């Protein structure tokens, strides 16, 4: 009899035990905390891992949907599948969150705030999503002042394996996922592909105004060769192409806008070489990201907005494992170019080079106490250099087995995006990176409960100057403050094979020094789920999300609760069926003011694996 649930609150509370499972889960390892592989227990950072099993069970179609139920994270959508998503980590906007795909940066320098476009990241090829909350610039540099989201794609298993999945659902949503892999002692090779298309619904409310469709094609190829036990080479390629119909809020047609549409084409290449000898390891990485987006709109005339960016990155990560810990030395070089243009108006271009060095040390003071320290220096050729650091403690208390406390203090920063740099206000000499100081304090008891308090202050934040055209950006003079409380809990009713999970987030502050609240943040968010597994692994689940009032330019979206239900089972050997019902009570709500959301809907997926 086996049960394989990873609950809503995921691996954060599953570090020490997994009491309801007769089957022992493999220890969870992550790479996001130090750029080297390590146990999730050997970091003081606040880490959550969403597994492939959890993604399958809940029917998440995009990364944005998957992270939306994690404590401290909030996602708003400007319409349905494929429409623009905004996400916030502990109140901070998405430009302060570094998003990686197998370690490759997905933050697009040509976007307004250097954000990664989560709405185009589907989940079909994902093995796990690692989420670190809290500043991580002392390891990762820019765009990591609020956290890191590292998306890990599936790895080849020994022998030949593969799967084929077909899915269909509401709004004429249909798709196919396929993967084929081979692995032996020398070679690993894997091809993954997915296709998703939907007729959708109107992006701007009302939902029934017209259809805004979406198409997503994703290819992922990985190849690895082990020369011997100490030397291995990996190559990877990932491409995402999308076509999206949307509603331009400036269009005279508004919700009936059947013209506005966009295309995106994002390609990432990576090569990394691993060397291991006794307690020493080194990883050389070289990667390139190419981002191309075109938006077609109609207002006074046909408009074409083109955004392009290239990011080349090289790094050498050295790690030495000693008796009581691990020391890491990293060297990095980045070359970033951004471009944007409206019709035939003047081109906006900006580029800069970033060189960095960092050291990290993880040290076991004793068998119960972990000390983590990081120090990093970033040099830029276009704007101010930055030095960032982190110090963190974690302690397992002898007097009460399973009780753990931890604390982190850090500094972080976010450099201007190439878009902001190309459009800075003429009244400033040069934009400065936004600088963050923050800390968090956490306490947990086994899986039962975990409480974290966080406090963040941002200096020199980069903001759009209202009313300027073309857009102009400047550093703010005041301080932005974010503080809040996260509570997560999970309990297993063993006699009934039922797991209850919940998390609650409350924001105390999310405002600027002038008292202005940041838009689209909810003061209170509550997620809860109930999962039941039969003895043959059939799964029944129901979950709900409560969102408090969100303010947006003086308008409120109001509070609301949305309920979803999930079912999955193996119908015959190697063939699985899953059903996911969303918004089962057909709640009429908005997560972004003026934009439509999904009504009652149902999605089905059948998957054959070998």
- Please give the pLDDT value at position 152: 92
- Please give the pLDDT value at position 307: 95
According to DSSP, residue 448 is labeled T
Give dist(CA 107, CA 86) in Å, integer. Answer: 13
How far is the first Cα of the chain from the last one, in angstroms, to the nearest whole number?
22
- Please give the pLDDT value at position 362: 96
- Please give the pLDDT value at position 27: 66
Tokens of 592: 């972004």
CB atoms within 10 A of CB 470: 11
Give dist(CA 180, CA 176) in Å, integer. Answer: 14
- Please give the pLDDT value at position 300: 63
Tokens of 510: 């999310």
Low-confidence residues of the chain: pLDDT under 50? 1-24
- Please give the pLDDT value at position 119: 84
Give dist(CA 275, CA 284) in Å, integer. Answer: 9
Tokens of 503: 């998390």
pLDDT digits (tens, 9 = 90+) for 298-314: 876 688 999 999 999 99
According to DSSP, residue 254 is labeled G
pLDDT digits (tens, 9 = 90+) for 567-608: 999 999 999 999 999 999 999 999 999 999 999 999 999 999
Burial classification of residue 115, based on how many CB atoms lie within 10 Å of its CB (0-12 exposed, 13-18 middle, 19 or more buried): buried
In the block, tokens 């209202």 appear at: 466
The residues, any chain, with a CB within 8 Å of residue 554's CB and separated by 6 or more, are none
- Please give the pLDDT value at position 15: 39
- Report DSSP letters for 90-127, one per residue: TTB-GGGEEEEETTEE---TTSTT----GGG-BSTTEE
- Please give the pLDDT value at position 195: 96
Paired sense of beta strands 280-298 and 555-556, if any? unpaired
| Host H or E run for residue 63 | helix 63-67
| Host H or E run for residue 310 | strand 302-322
Asked if 489 and 451 touch (Cβ cutoff 8 Å), the reply is no
CA–CA–CA angle 45, 67, 339 (5° rounding): 95
What's the whole-model pTM score? Answer: 0.92
Asked if 98 and 107 touch (Cβ cutoff 8 Å), the reply is yes
Tokens of 557: 């979206």
Give dist(CA 441, CA 449) in Å, integer. Answer: 14
Tokens of 335: 């070359």
In the block, tokens 């708003």 appear at: 76
The residues, any chain, with a CB within 8 Å of residue 527's CB and separated by 6 or more, are 8, 69, 71, 502, 503, 504, 543, 544, 545, 546
Paired sense of beta strands 147-153 and 97-101, if any? parallel
Burial classification of residue 265, based on how many CB atoms lie within 10 Å of its CB (0-12 exposed, 13-18 middle, 19 or more buried): middle
**CA-based Rg of the chain, rounded to a whole angstrom?**
23
Residue 133 forms beta bridges with which residues? 46, 147
């Amino acid at each position: 009899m086996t049960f394989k649930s990873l609950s809503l609150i995921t691996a954060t509370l599953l570090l020490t035990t997994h009491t309801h499972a007769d089957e022992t889960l493999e220890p969870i390892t992550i790479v996001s905390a130090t750029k080297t592989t390590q146990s999730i227990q050997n970091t003081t950072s606040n880490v959550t891992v969403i597994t492939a099993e959890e993604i399958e069970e809940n029917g998440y179609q995009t990364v944005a949907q998957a992270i939306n139920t994690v404590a401290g994270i909030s996602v708003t959508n400007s319409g349905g599948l494929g429409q623009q998503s905004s996400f916030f980590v502990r109140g901070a906007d998405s430009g302060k969150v570094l998003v990686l795909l197998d370690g490759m940066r997905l933050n697009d320098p040509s976007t307004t705030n250097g954000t990664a476009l989560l709405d185009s990241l589907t989940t079909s090829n994902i093995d796990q999503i690692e989420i670190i909350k809290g500043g991580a610039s002392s390891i990762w540099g820019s765009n990591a002042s609020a956290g890191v989201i590292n998306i890990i794609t599936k790895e080849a298993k020994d022998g030949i394996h593969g799967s084929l999945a077909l899915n269909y659902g509401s709004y004429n949503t249909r798709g196919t996922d396929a993967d084929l892999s081979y692995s032996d002692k020398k070679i690993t090779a894997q091809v993954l592909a997915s296709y998703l298309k939907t007729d959708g619904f109107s992006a701007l409310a009302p939902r029934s105004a017209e259809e805004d469709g979406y198409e997503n094609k994703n290819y992922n190829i990985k190849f690895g060769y082990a020369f011997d036990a100490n030397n291995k080479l990996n190559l990877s390629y990932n491409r995402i192409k999308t076509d999206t119909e949307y509603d331009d809020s400036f269009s005279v047609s508004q919700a009936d806008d059947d013209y506005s549409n966009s295309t995106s084409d994002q390609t990432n290449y990576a090569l990394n070489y691993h060397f291991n000898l006794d307690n020493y390891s080194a990883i050389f990485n070289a990667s390139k990201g190419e981002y191309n987006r075109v938006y077609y709109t109609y207002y006074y005339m046909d408009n074409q907005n083109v955004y392009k960016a290239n990011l080349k990155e090289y790094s050498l990560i050295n790690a030495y494992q000693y008796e009581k810990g691990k020391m890491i030395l990293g060297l990095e070089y980045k070359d970033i170019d951004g471009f944007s243009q409206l019709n035939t108006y003047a081109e906006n271009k900006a580029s800069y080079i970033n060189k960095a060095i960092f050291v990290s040390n993880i040290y076991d003071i004793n068998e119960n106490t972990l000390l983590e320290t990081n120090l990093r220096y970033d040099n830029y050729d276009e704007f101010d250099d930055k030095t960032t650091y982190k110090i963190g403690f974690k302690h397992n208390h002898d007097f009460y087995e399973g009780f753990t406390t931890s604390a982190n203090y850090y500094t972080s920063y976010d450099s201007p995006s190439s878009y902001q740099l190309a459009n800075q206000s003429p009244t400033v000499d040069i934009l400065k990176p936004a600088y963050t100081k923050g800390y968090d304090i956490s306490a947990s008891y086994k899986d039962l409960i975990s409480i974290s308090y966080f406090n963040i202050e941002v200096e020199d934040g980069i903001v759009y100057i209202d009313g300027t055209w073309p857009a102009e950006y400047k550093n703010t003079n005041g301080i932005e403050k974010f503080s809040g409380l996260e509570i997560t809990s999970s309990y297993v009713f063993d006699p009934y094979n039922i797991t209850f999970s919940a998390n609650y987030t409350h924001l105390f502050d999310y405002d600027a020094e002038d008292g202005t609240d940041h838009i689209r943040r909810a003061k209170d968010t509550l997620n809860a789920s109930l999962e039941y597994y039969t003895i043959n692994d059939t799964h029944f689940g129901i979950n709900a999300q409560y969102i408090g009032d969100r303010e947006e330019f003086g308008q409120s979206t109001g509070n609301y609760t949305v309920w979803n239900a999930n079912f999955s089972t193996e119908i015959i050997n190697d063939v699985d069926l899953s059903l996911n019902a969303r918004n089962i009570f057909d709640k009429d709500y908005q997560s972004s003011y003026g934009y439509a959301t999904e009504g009652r809907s149902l999605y089905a997926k059948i998957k054959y694996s070998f």
